[in-house]
Amino acid sequence: MTMAVPHRPELALVLFGEQHLASLRAMLADEQILRFSRVPVPVPDGFERAWLQSYEGGRVDGTREAFAIAGERDEFLGIALAPDINASTRTVELGYLIAPEARGQGVATAALKELTDWALSVLGALRIELYISVDNAASKRVAQRCGYVPEGVLRSRHFKQDLREDTEIWSRLPGN
């Protein structure tokens, strides 16, 4: 399954699969990705494969989905995710991780716009959520560009490396 990104035609979201594992592994060495994601530090051996298996299981039962962000020459630019899909409430959590070499080129914005369109049209989402570190200014700018609205701060929500961190919740509803 490939979806062209209308806001940046040279990008596509492609179902994440085995062929993307080496690129994901390389991306997980990036300090910012480790800082602002749920990836454990240090990254355990075999993490990428276990991660893929969990998303493949979610693909089957409809509870999660993962896409590779591919450039016009099919180069790997990052991942676009739906880590939590709740069909009964029609609520979806989305996320994105951009490879260091693809940052600052509009990739995150284009990918989130496409992922949002997918959640609204394919899943019929009535509420889409993003959880963003209070310290991740770049991700907050992407969310705002894509029509998301900040709702507040979830204090001490994220726990990683023996530290607790505040997390902002951003949302988008159909029609806005």
Which region holds residue 46: left if phi is over 0, alpha if psi is between -120 and 50, else beta?
left
pLDDT of residue 24: 96
Percent pLDDT > 70 in the chain is 90
Q: Which domains does the chain have, with CATH numbers?
A: 2-127 (3.40.630.30)
pLDDT higher than 50, residue 95: yes
Taking the CA atoms of residue 94, residue 100, residue 105 and residue 108 in that order, the dihedral angle to the nearest 10 degrees is 0
pLDDT higher than 70, residue 19: yes
The encoded tokens of residue 123 equal 């899943």
pLDDT higher than 90, residue 154: no
pLDDT of residue 69: 97
Q: Which helix (H) or strand (E) holds 23?
A: helix 21-27
Over range 77-95, report the average pLDDT: 97
Over range 122-129, report the average pLDDT: 98
Distance, CA of 27 to CA of 62 (rounded, Å): 26
